[in-house]
Amino acid sequence: MQLKHRLSSIKIEKSVNEYVLVLKGTIDTLALVGEPMRESDHANTILNGLTKEYSLIITSVVERPMSILVEKLEALLLTHESMLESFQNQSHSYKQIWHKVHQVTLRILTQEVTSEVISEETIEAEVVAEPSIMVNLVRTTPNLKLRLIIQVLVVLKGQEWSILKAVVL
């Protein structure tokens, strides 16, 4: 019982790798004493210890119709952590664009969403050549006089993805 309480009190502090290792150590100890944890409970334990910086991941995983594999969740967290670190060195508007692209890419990877409409913005995504996804953020002004398309080619590598190119059309 003490191990389960300890498990519920572990929170992410420094890095995703460190956090995952601490959780895994406690989960492995539980298994050794005859209380193994199911994969879905392991994933939920990971989600419960995350901070608000990871709310996008939490939302996309919780809204999934099926539970996520721990390995895939860890890969998403590492990617998100990397994006958070890169945001620290970018301008505000640039951050917003990449946040939107990152958000849509996560939704595509976790829920296979291909298109999304948010107020005056439309997100379109299509598989252009395995294993790549083209993400378009189309922003139209309310009077429809200006249409900005930000096109990003996302390349998938296993569970990870990276931006191959980004252009404003």
- Compute the average pLDDT of residues 10-16: 84
Range of the domain at 24: 1-89
Q: Within this chain, do residues 85 and 155 fall inside the same structural domain, yes or no?
A: no
Q: Within this chain, do residues 69 and 121 fall inside the same structural domain, yes or no?
A: no
- Answer yes or no: is pLDDT of 146 > 80: no
pLDDT tens track for 52-107: 888 878 887 887 778 888 888 888 888 778 777 765 554 444 455 556 666 665 65
Within a domain: 107: no
- Compute the average pLDDT of residues 14-20: 87
Within a domain: 99: no
- Compute the average pLDDT of residues 42-58: 86
Mean pLDDT, the chain, integer? 67
Within a domain: 95: no
Q: Within this chain, do residues 78 and 17 fall inside the same structural domain, yes or no?
A: yes
Within a domain: 45: yes
Torsion angle of C-alpha atoms 57, 61, 45, 81, degrees rounded to 10: -20
Q: Which residues have a Cβ under 8 Å from the Cβ of 98 and sit 6 or more positions away?
A: 83, 86, 87, 90
Within a domain: 165: yes
Best-predicted range by mean pLDDT (83-97, 112-126, 149-163): 83-97
Q: Within this chain, do residues 65 and 127 fall inside the same structural domain, yes or no?
A: no
pLDDT recorded at residue 142: 52
Q: Within this chain, do residues 6 and 60 fall inside the same structural domain, yes or no?
A: yes
- Answer yes or no: is pLDDT of 41 > 70: yes
Residues in the chain: 169
pLDDT recorded at residue 1: 62
Question: What is the total count of domains within the chain?
Answer: 2
Final residue in a domain of this structure, among 55, 89, 123? 89
Nearest alpha carbon to residue 46 among 86, 35, 37, 1: 37
C-alpha 165/C-alpha 101 separation (Å) is 12
- Answer yes or no: is pLDDT of 123 > 60: no
pTM of this prediction?
Answer: 0.54
pLDDT recorded at residue 169: 39
Q: Within this chain, do residues 34 and 78 fall inside the same structural domain, yes or no?
A: yes
